[in-house]
Structure 1
Amino acid sequence: MDVTRKMVNKQLRFRGMLLNRLVTKSTEETFIESMHNSKKLMEKRFKGKDVEGLACSEEWVSRGDGSSIRVRIYKPLDPVKGVPGVLWSHGGGYAQGIPEMSGDMYKRLIDTSDCVIIAPDYRLSIDAPYPAALDDCYRVLIWMKIHAKELGIRDDQLVVGGESAGGGLTAALALLARDRGDINLAFQMPLYPMLDDRMLSESVRDNNAYVWNSATNRWAWKLYLGNLFGKRVPIYAAAGRAADYSNLPPAVTFVGDIEPFRDETIQYVERLRAAGIPVDFKIYKGAYHGFDIIHPEADISKAARDFLMESFNYATKHYFAHQLS
């Protein structure tokens, strides 16, 4: 899909163009180098940073092999009991990012409907390919259920969410939880999710949009899948490959109409609905990948956030059990 400047929302254009110049990735090697540099920069800038107006803490969850997963926990300032628990997986193409970068999202979710956010610092593909990130997130999800009482959450009100690669992990976690049968998720929020390594749809073929395009997407999948790239990829690595979407939790998502993940997001929504799963979904015209994060003050970004928060608030009132234990 050839994306021209005029196709981009006017309020989003300048930042998109500027970011494109700053993070140009012309080859696979420079992409990998930029991911390593980004990791260092984000850790220096954000690691350990709390969110004003929230009670923030940190835990370590064992992987069972002697290593541990760093986990950030965000709660309302006033003590809570029996509220939803949200596992949020950050974005970054599976190759970059840390939990602290999504602090604004945590604040909005908690302000919208009292909940507790659990954000794992999962292993990145530049350090370990699939299934490392998914394994980390699932271990933390199990840990949430086991420690629900101490966290102040309900073990039957567990939610998964994330943006971009975090959205892909969200969809994969929903499939994995359903198939293993040890967790019943109440809701999912896979925002503009990274779902399908095959890159077959019109929106992802030859997409030259700002921020994330066909080339960066292919390199990111190669890193994440490792030796599986181009082979038989399991649905838990690329949820867009799944054939059965039954018995998954209700969902909300949104996506821009000029970004690579437009079509795979639409397909995910259509398959959920065909399986009888309630889904709230909107497409935003002229929006590139991650627009709501890159230019949060833009009108279109505010509209997308309002839509997400309204859907989350509705979900807590209609999809979740509310009788206290």
Structure 2
Amino acid sequence: MKYNINKEFFPFSKISMPIRSPRLAGFLGSLMPVPRWIFHDKEISVKREKIGGYKGEEIEILVFSPREIREPAPCLVYYHGGGFFFGGAGHHYKISKQYALGTPCKLVFAQYRLAPKHPFPTAPEDCFAAYKWTLDNADLLGIDKTRIAVGGDSAGGNLAAVVSQMARDRGEVLPTCQMLVYPVTDRRMTSESSRLMTDAPMWNSTLSKMMWQGYLQGYDGEDIAYASPAEAKSLEGLPDAYVETAEFDSLRDEAKEYATLLEQSGSEVVLNETLGTMHGYDIVRKSPVTKASVGARIAYLQSKLYK
């Protein structure tokens, strides 16, 4: 299939993720350290925290705080993408800084554990633990617990959607809203874009198939919706959502369908369908399309966190 991607995204418009097997992806994903610059930034402070994740095992989170923010401040709990295999990349930290400064808000960056070493349900349980820790420690963190959003990109968008479902199902305070950027939502992969975009750059359905194999490792239990949120028995009672899609992304249609299901279930949804884009296009930070999309995300967060 030919992909008429905007030229401003070159060379990323010609690149695919370096994944040939779950094991290789897991190895490469383990080689992504937290960049040092974030601890020496003039506009934000970043602190490391250790918390209990799935089965009580320790995970790390990072708390971003704009230096001039007024407390108690709103907060975005953010989950990075990476196919459940890769840790946060450099652009995840840069865009997190943009969200924190632009909204403005504090931002909790969850370093959840990765497949295939840690298959489902480790990632969503770690991510829920990060959300719950933020709620429980809001006063100490200078956070207004009535204004905590969740968000993420790609696999991180999946995790934000799942954490929203977990909070509802477990009787916790719901996130104020959920920001889902080109999210993974459905393991069944039956959409038209999934069928057609088997070789799209950056991400495609061939990679998605391998991702699901390495992430689920045969799991098919009753709580499968915590991996595949579109399979939830009910989407009622969930937070309002911002859902963003990329035109030449195999995940495009399943994200749109999830947005429709949320809206039909009573959530207010803002759907931003970007054109001429591929999965992960916002890695090109200087692109006018990226700037417009990041601006739309921040405007959405402002509309929900500063009512």
On the 8 A contact 2:191/2:253 being kept in 1, the answer is yes
Correspondence for 2:266 = 276
On the 8 A contact 1:193/1:261 being kept in 2, the answer is yes
**Superposed displacement of residue 232, structure 1:** 6.4
Matched, 1:9 2:6: yes
On the 8 A contact 2:9/2:281 being kept in 1, the answer is yes
Deviations 1:12-36 (A, max 9, x none): 243321x33xx454x4x3x531441
Aligned ranges for residues 287-302 of structure 1 at < 5 Å?
A: 287-293=277-283, 295-302=284-291
Deviations 1:201-222 (A, max 9, x none): 0101141210111111111111
Aligned ranges for residues 202-221 of structure 1 at < 5 Å?
A: 202-207=192-197, 208-221=199-212
Correspondence for 2:298 = 309
On the 8 A contact 2:150/2:177 being kept in 1, the answer is yes
Q: Which runs of 5+ in 2 are unaligned?
A: none
Partner letter of residue 202 of structure 1?
E
The SS at the match of 1:185 is coil
**Superposed displacement of residue 101, structure 1:** 4.9
Matched, 1:32 2:32: no
**Superposed displacement of residue 92, structure 1:** 0.1
Correspondence for 1:323 = none
Matched, 1:192 2:182: yes
On the 8 A contact 2:150/2:160 being kept in 1, the answer is yes
On the 8 A contact 1:58/1:71 being kept in 2, the answer is yes
Q: 1:63 to 1:302 in 2, by over 3 A?
A: closer
Q: 1:223 to 1:315 in 2, by over 3 A?
A: same
Q: Distance in 2 between matches of 1:145 and 1:34?
A: 33
Deviations 1:173-223 (A, max 9, x none): 111101111222111101110111110001011412101111111111111
- Measured on the aligned residues, the alpha-carbon RMSD in Å equals 2.1
4+ residue runs over 4 A deviation: none
Q: 1:47 to 1:163 in 2, by over 3 A?
A: farther
Aligned ranges for residues 129-148 of structure 1 at < 5 Å?
A: 129-148=119-138
Q: Distance in 1 between matches of 2:73 and 2:101?
A: 13
Q: Aligned pairs, how many?
A: 305
Q: 1:79 to 1:280 in 2, by over 3 A?
A: closer
Q: 1:292 to 1:63 in 2, by over 3 A?
A: closer
**Superposed displacement of residue 158, structure 1:** 1.6
Q: Distance in 2 between matches of 1:317 and 1:271?
A: 26
Q: 1:255 to 1:167 in 2, by over 3 A?
A: same
Q: Distance in 2 between matches of 1:97 and 1:110?
A: 20
**Superposed displacement of residue 48, structure 1:** 7.8
Normalising by structure 1, report the TM-score: 0.87
Matched, 1:56 2:46: yes
Correspondence for 1:322 = none
**Superposed displacement of residue 247, structure 1:** 1.1
On the 8 A contact 1:178/1:247 being kept in 2, the answer is yes
Partner letter of residue 282 of structure 1?
N
Deviations 1:216-239 (A, max 9, x none): 11111111111216x766111110
Partner letter of residue 223 of structure 1?
G
> Out of 29, 36, 61, which is 1:71 matched to?
61
Q: Distance in 2 between matches of 1:145 and 1:115?
A: 15
**Superposed displacement of residue 154, structure 1:** 1.4
Partner letter of residue 74 of structure 1?
F
**Superposed displacement of residue 305, structure 1:** 1.1
**Superposed displacement of residue 296, structure 1:** 1.6
On the 8 A contact 2:25/2:85 being kept in 1, the answer is no
Partner letter of residue 143 of structure 1?
W
Deviations 1:243-296 (A, max 9, x none): 421111111121111101110111111111112211111111121101012x12
Q: Distance in 2 between matches of 1:99 and 1:66?
A: 26
The SS at the match of 1:97 is coil
Q: 1:205 to 1:304 in 2, by over 3 A?
A: same
Range that drifts further, 243-252 or 59-68: 59-68
Q: Distance in 2 between matches of 1:204 and 1:64?
A: 31
Normalising by structure 2, report the TM-score: 0.92
Deviations 1:17-63 (A, max 9, x none): 1x33xx454x4x3x5314412431x22x7368437210110010023
Q: 1:252 to 1:64 in 2, by over 3 A?
A: closer
Q: Distance in 2 between matches of 1:152 and 1:175?
A: 26
